[in-house]
């Protein structure tokens, strides 16, 4: 009989598991977070208007659309939503064939008949253009993007210095510029740039496409002419129905989009973690107990409440996964899987607790181990940078903010979504 020892850290880790087959599977936990707006609008600029570009018939598509926590003010609107809607139009009818073939028990064709049907689409075009004063916009930049921008900035600065040197040389060679201070030319160019920036403050800042098409097919006919005639009869009947559906779709989706860009909303993510799924593995029971406990603890998180209690409750689980990662060797094939799963979970926990420093550490360990493919470790490092940049931009603790008057929160708004995951082979 093999005797099992235990490594005692935050929790016990089995030491008799080397060589045991480790099967890793996904473990999803719903986590409540706050979804941040794209634009951070000051309180004194929260006025808007919605206008239609198109036939007045389509005004019904805009009925009741509201930008929460903003005031609609046509005369003093800082933000204008222009919705362009074009009438639905049918495409050309395409005649398609379908052959009905009957065979006997030996597979020999005994009869064959060709039928025809018409395919067409009713297409509705719609666009949302957002015009606004210059607004702070959050744009996440990965480390590589930041490095590329820094290189581009250095090149531009070097090019500017070269232009200034070239201008001085031309001035020395030009008798008409003798004694002329050429630095004014650069100053004039900068003034032109500032004028261009001022023009942008009242320009279009965003455009979304809300176009939609509705596919239709006729019944099967015995001739292509009959199929074409059937489509011609159906189009006048389907157009009004599709138009009503199109307007209802625009009403819901446009309101959702403008609030996504300018308001905080509650979001529930199905966060993907890793767990052991091999009952015979000595680490299996404790690993899964840790995951079940983590699920209960993270279920207490709220998008509008501090997470200090959750952070404290999760410490024993963090300690256990750290012990697992330290215990299992990266050189052993099966142990490498368990170590990778533990580091993955530690990175995910750090992400949802907004601990970017810990997230970077675990992400880099995953990079060094090289177990997960598709840049998972690098992805965690990028997420750490995302947390840091968002905290700086919104001047907040990211996903868990206590609502205050006119903060932009809408308590009953909720988005259900699957958290981004990677399609690597878990085995």
Domains in the chain: how many in total? Answer: 3
- Residues 103 and 210 occupy one common structural domain: yes
CA 111 to chain CA centroid, nearest Å: 54
Predicted local confidence at residue 355, as pLDDT: 84
* Residue 122, in any domain of the structure: yes
Strand-pair partners of 276: 24
C-beta separation of 29 from 298 below 8 A: yes
- In this predicted structure, the answer to whether residue 35 has a pLDDT above a threshold of 90 is no
* Residue 427, in any domain of the structure: no
- Residues 114 and 187 occupy one common structural domain: no
- In this predicted structure, the answer to whether residue 2 has a pLDDT above a threshold of 70 is no
Predicted local confidence at residue 427, as pLDDT: 43
CA distances from 304 to 33, 77, 310, 403 (A): 8, 29, 14, 6
- Residue that terminates a domain, selected from 221, 238, 260: 260
Phi, psi of 299 (to 5 degrees): -65, -15
* Residue 129, in any domain of the structure: yes
* Residue 424, in any domain of the structure: no
β-strand pairing of 79-90 with 47-53: parallel
The overall average pLDDT reported for the chain is 79
- Residues 240 and 363 occupy one common structural domain: no
- Residues 332 and 406 occupy one common structural domain: yes
Q: Tokens standing for 289?
A: 């107990």
Predicted local confidence at residue 191, as pLDDT: 40
The pLDDT tens digits for 203-244 are 778 889 999 999 999 999 999 999 999 999 999 999 999 999
C-alpha–C-alpha distance, residues 333 and 20, integer Å: 10
Q: What's the pLDDT band for 39 if we cut at 50, 70, 90?
A: confident
- Residues 252 and 393 occupy one common structural domain: no
- Residues 272 and 224 occupy one common structural domain: no
* Residue 364, in any domain of the structure: yes
- Residues 271 and 314 occupy one common structural domain: yes
pLDDT (mean) for 320-328: 92
- In this predicted structure, the answer to whether residue 397 has a pLDDT above a threshold of 60 is no
- Residues 396 and 317 occupy one common structural domain: yes
Predicted local confidence at residue 183, as pLDDT: 57
Q: Is 213 exposed, middle or buried (0-12, 13-18, 19+ CB in 10 A)?
A: middle
Predicted local confidence at residue 413, as pLDDT: 47
For the domain that residue 238 is a member of, what is the CATH number? 3.30.160
* Residue 352, in any domain of the structure: yes
pLDDT (mean) for 120-143: 81
The pLDDT tens digits for 49-104 are 999 999 999 999 999 999 998 999 988 889 999 999 999 999 999 999 999 988 88
Percent of the chain with pLDDT over 90: 37
Length of the chain: 427
- % helix / strand / coil in the chain, to the nearest 5? 45, 25, 30
- Residue that terminates a domain, selected from 229, 260, 291: 260
- Residue that terminates a domain, selected from 260, 295, 329: 260
Q: What's the pLDDT band for 43 if we cut at 50, 70, 90?
A: confident
Task: Report which listed range, 3-12, 271-280, 400-409, is most confident.
Answer: 271-280
Predicted local confidence at residue 233, as pLDDT: 95
Higher pLDDT, 417 or 269: 269
pLDDT (mean) for 262-268: 82
* Residue 426, in any domain of the structure: no
C-beta separation of 52 from 86 below 8 A: no
C-alpha–C-alpha distance, residues 374 and 383, integer Å: 15
The pLDDT tens digits for 169-201 are 666 666 665 666 655 454 334 444 433 443 444
- Residues 256 and 268 occupy one common structural domain: no
Predicted local confidence at residue 293, as pLDDT: 95
Percent of the chain with pLDDT over 70: 73
* Residue 1, in any domain of the structure: no
- Residues 11 and 118 occupy one common structural domain: no
pTM of the model as a whole: 0.64
C-beta separation of 380 from 351 below 8 A: yes
The pLDDT tens digits for 352-387 are 888 888 888 888 888 888 766 667 777 887 877 777
C-alpha–C-alpha distance, residues 346 and 349, integer Å: 5
What CA dihedral angle connects 132, 138, 139 and 142, to 10 degrees? 170
Higher pLDDT, 187 or 136: 136
- Residues 291 and 246 occupy one common structural domain: no
Q: Tokens standing for 270?
A: 């199905």
Q: Which residue has the tokens 């530690």?
A: 346
Range of the domain at 108: 43-133+206-260
- In this predicted structure, the answer to whether residue 135 has a pLDDT above a threshold of 70 is yes
- Residues 68 and 110 occupy one common structural domain: yes
Predicted local confidence at residue 388, as pLDDT: 73
């Amino acid at each position: 009989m093999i005797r099992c020892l235990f490594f005692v850290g935050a929790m016990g880790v089995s030491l008799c598991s080397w060589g045991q087959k480790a099967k890793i599977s996904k473990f999803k936990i719903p986590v409540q977070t706050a979804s941040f707006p794209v634009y951070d609008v000051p309180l004194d600029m929260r006025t808007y208007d919605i206008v239609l570009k198109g036939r007045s018939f389509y005004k019904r598509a805009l009925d009741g659309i509201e930008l929460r926590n903003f005031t609609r003010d046509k005369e003093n609107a800082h933000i204008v939503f222009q919705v362009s809607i074009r009438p639905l139009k049918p495409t050309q009818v395409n005649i398609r064939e379908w052959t009905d073939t009957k065979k006997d028990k030996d597979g020999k064709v005994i009869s064959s008949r060709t039928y025809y049907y018409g395919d067409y689409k009713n297409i509705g075009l719609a666009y949302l253009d957002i015009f606004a004063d210059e607004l702070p916009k959050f744009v996440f930049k990965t480390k590589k993007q930041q490095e590329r921008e820094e290189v581009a900035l250095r090149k531009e600065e070097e090019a500017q210095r070269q232009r200034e040197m070239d201008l001085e040389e031309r001035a020395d060679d030009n008798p008409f510029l003798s004694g002329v201070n050429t630095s004014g030319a650069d100053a004039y160019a900068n003034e032109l740039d500032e004028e261009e920036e001022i023009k942008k403050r009242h320009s279009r800042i965003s455009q979304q496409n809300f176009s939609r098409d509705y596919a239709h097919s006729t019944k099967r006919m015995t001739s292509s002419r009959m199929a074409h005639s059937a489509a011609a009869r159906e189009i006048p009947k389907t157009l009004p129905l599709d138009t009503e559906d199109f307007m209802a779709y625009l009403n819901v989706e446009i309101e959702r989009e403008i609030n996504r860009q300018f308001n905080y909303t509650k979001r529930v993510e199905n966060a993907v973690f890793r767990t052991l799924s091999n009952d015979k593995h000595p680490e299996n029971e404790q690993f899964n107990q840790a995951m079940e406990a983590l699920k209960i603890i993270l279920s207490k998180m709220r998008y509008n409440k501090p997470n200090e209690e959750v952070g404290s409750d999760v410490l024993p689980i963090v300690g256990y996964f750290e012990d697992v990662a330290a215990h299992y060797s990266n050189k052993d094939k099966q142990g490498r899987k368990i170590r990778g799963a533990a580091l993955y979970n530690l990175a995910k926990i750090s992400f949802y607790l907004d601990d970017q420093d810990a997230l970077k550490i675990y992400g880099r360990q995953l990079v060094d181990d090289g177990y997960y493919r598709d840049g998972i470790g690098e992805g965690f490092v990028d997420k750490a940078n995302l947390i840091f940049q968002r905290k700086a931009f919104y001047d907040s603790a990211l996903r868990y903010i206590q609502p205050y008057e006119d903060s932009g929160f809408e308590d009953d708004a909720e988005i259900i979504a699957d958290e981004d995951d990677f399609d690597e082979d878990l085995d």
